[in-house]
Amino acid sequence: VQLQAYGGGLVQPGGSLRLSCAASGSIFSINAMRWYRLAPGKQRELVAVISISGISTIYADSVKGRFTMSRDNAKNMMFLQMNSLKPEDTVVYLCNVDARVVGGRSFNPYWGQGTLVTVSS
């Protein structure tokens, strides 16, 4: 399973960006999907997680009310709409899924390479 994250870039404080992550490969099913972010010298932070149905989402307190996560199961994609961006949101965002491959018997974690978001005036 390969994950490709994109949509990062430079945005001014208060602006918006939409991150996308596409999963490809011999995928049978994807369970939970997650966005993490990683700043230099800091531990990886879970930003948001969405259930297999897309109905349930959980957000880190630091992004609650500003970020919205969604998914498209038909396309094996996940999204992160980021509004009211702050300079402290400047980090690399990573996508992660629990996926079961065709012929597989269990769900395993897979990671994308990350996309950089820079919030600066």
Dihedral in degrees, nearest 10, Cα atoms 112, 108, 70, 83: -40
d(CA 14, CA 121): 10
Residue range 74-97: average pLDDT? 97
Q: What is the DSSP letter of 40?
A: T
List, for residues 1-58, the tens digit of each pLDDT value: 999 999 999 999 999 999 999 999 999 999 999 999 998 889 999 999 999 999 999 9
